[in-house]
Amino acid sequence: MTFTHLGIDIPEINTETIDGKRYYVTPTGEKYPSITTVLGHFNKKAIWEWRQRVGEKEANKVSTQASRRGTKVHQMCEDFINNELDEKKFMPSDRETFNSIKNILSDNINNVRVQEATLYSDYLRVAGRVDCIADWNNRLSVIDFKTSRKLKKKEYITNYFQQGSAYCVMYEERTKTPIDQVVIVIAVDGESPQIFIEKRDNWILSTQKKIKLYGEYYDKIS
């Protein structure tokens, strides 16, 4: 399988770290928080409770392993879609995880617009780096790659869909090309992959609400 790339040029924008949080600096000098940071703000309580339940040592171990594996599998997805994957560069466990979704990517993705592109929205006042924007089964989509130790329930990953809906808006602002579909591909340890396909308009209002609440919170404490 050779993926077709349409060569959409979206200029890279710089980032700054302010008070431990990542901000993207737009060409006009606006500084927008990462959509990942914004949505992660609302998961702090659940993460704290999980760390208390399993203990700091185990939590740090799991988080480190998950971060490393996620980074490697993301890189394999990017290389594969760029038609330049060398699997020998990766550990067997990473290859196994990637290979669980490899055929799904081959069968569904084509006409790639961008990968790992920085996007921002003056309307939403957030920014971020999107995994992939391409046709998924012939429909232009924001596509995000995830890894997980266990199967995910839809109600526990609403932030994935909200993040994707924000990227849809960002991409349309930058290119004038609308996207109304979000695809989440999750490689799961010892299980078949999970594919979630959602409509942007089902999630953009809740995304906007969180962005607004996040801004109000930091306005109060700054």
CA dihedral 66, 70, 73, 75 (to 10 degrees): -140
Question: Is residue 198 predicted with pLDDT exceeding 80?
Answer: yes
Is 207:166 a contact under the CB 8 Å cutoff? yes
Distance CA 47, CA 63 (A): 11
Cα separations in angstroms, 205 against 19, 157, 165, 199, 211: 28, 16, 9, 12, 10
Burial of 37 (0-12, 13-18, 19+ CB in 10 A): middle
- pLDDT for the residue 74: 93
In the chain, where the domains are located: 14-221
- Contact residues for 188 (Cβ-Cβ < 8 A; gap 6+): 100, 147, 148, 149, 150, 151, 152, 194
- Looking at per-residue pLDDT, the higher value among 221 and 145 belongs to 145
State the CB neighbour count (10 A cutoff) for residue 17: 8
- Looking at per-residue pLDDT, the higher value among 62 and 213 belongs to 213
Tokens of 213: 């609440």
Is 128:163 a contact under the CB 8 Å cutoff? yes
Question: H-type helices in the chain, by residue range?
Answer: 35-40, 44-54, 56-81, 92-108, 158-175, 204-221
Question: Is residue 110 predicted with pLDDT exceeding 80?
Answer: yes
Domain 14-221 falls under CATH 3.30.390 = no
Q: Mind listing the pLDDT tens digit for each residue in 144-197?
A: 999 998 999 999 999 999 999 999 999 999 999 999 999 999 999 889 999 999
Question: Is residue 46 predicted with pLDDT exceeding 80?
Answer: no
- pLDDT for the residue 53: 61
- Contact residues for 17 (Cβ-Cβ < 8 A; gap 6+): 23
Question: What predicted TM-score, i.e. pTM, was given to this entire model?
Answer: 0.90
- Looking at per-residue pLDDT, the higher value among 101 and 59 belongs to 101
- Given the DSSP bridges, would you call strands 31-33 and 21-25 parallel, antiparallel or unpaired? antiparallel
Question: Is residue 217 predicted with pLDDT exceeding 80?
Answer: no
